[in-house]
Amino acid sequence: MNIIKDQNIILSNSETKDFLADAFYLETENKLPLVIFVHGYKGYKDWGAWNLMAEKFAEAGFFFVKFNFSHNGTTVENPDEFADLESFGTNNYSKELSDLKVVIDYFSKNEKVDDQKIILVGHSRGGGISIIKTCEDIRINGLVTLASVDSLERFPKNEAFENWKNEGVYFVENGRTKQQMPHYYQFFEDFETNYHRFDVERSMEMAKAHVLIIHGTNDESVSVKNAEHLHLLNPNTELYFVENANHTFGAKEPWEGKELPKDLNEVIKKSIEFITEKIVNE
């Protein structure tokens, strides 16, 4: 069967701004479960091997969507470059949750989609956002976290925090592009204002969906203890470790291979098995 790749669909969000999404799915008469991939910090929909991942999920019979958060630093014209650092600096968790709602609303109405089977797959910070949305939105009945954080309270500490507050901005260098990426203080103010909503721990405790937590044991960015903690908060979840895998499960940008990295392939295989057993066949 052919995989249909509907790429760079423009979505509009009145609370943020326009952003892009891709849909990968098989040409079939059947309605397909909707899987939405939520990228993390300094991520975007076309990063690394995410297109190969999309193909794998599509081949397995899912309507797979990935998208760029509206304020992730990319633009509609340049979806795979940080061409708008001002937007990056004005991003916050409220905007990301708003964008994710727009994605769910838009694709759940697609005639090819079974709107009774909606699954989020969140990587890194996108895992934390996905946990909150799964708690908030009863339409979501499956969640897979990949190298997820267990808290969104990840800000500079002590003197660095005071400098941020006083100066209104702090910069993080992008290791790959060497860009100085700004973070305006409004990011923390938004977090503080919505502290209870952004409580990943409480959201995980309350999540009613089927949840699979996947983490690499050699994650250099988010400690594997985050995964263990998430599982403790909700023992109904399934915890799966990928031995010696790093934060991106072997993928990197750019990914020039035609095959998935071994660890990411294992992650996708496990995710498809879990979703099929718990949601598709239930």
Domains of the chain, each with CATH number or no CATH? 3-154+188-280 (3.40.50.1820)
Structure tokens at 115: 């709107």
Q: Which pLDDT tens digit goes with each residue over 119-170?
A: 999 999 999 999 999 999 999 999 999 999 999 999 999 999 999 999 999 9
Residue 42 pLDDT > 80, yes or no? yes
Q: Which helix (H) or strand (E) holds 94?
A: helix 93-108
Q: Measured between alpha carbons, how far is residue 120 from residues 1, 35, 89 in Å?
A: 25, 6, 25
Rounded Cα distance, 166 and 189, in Å: 13
Q: What is the reported pLDDT for 52?
A: 98
pTM of the shown model: 0.99
Residue 1 pLDDT > 90, yes or no? no
In the numeric block, the tokens 């969140």 are attached to 122
Amino acid residing at 238: E
The CA-to-CA distance between both ends of the chain, in Å, stands at 25
Report the share of the chain in percent with pLDDT over 90: 99
Q: Which pLDDT tens digit goes with each residue over 85-116?
A: 999 999 999 999 999 999 999 999 999 999 99
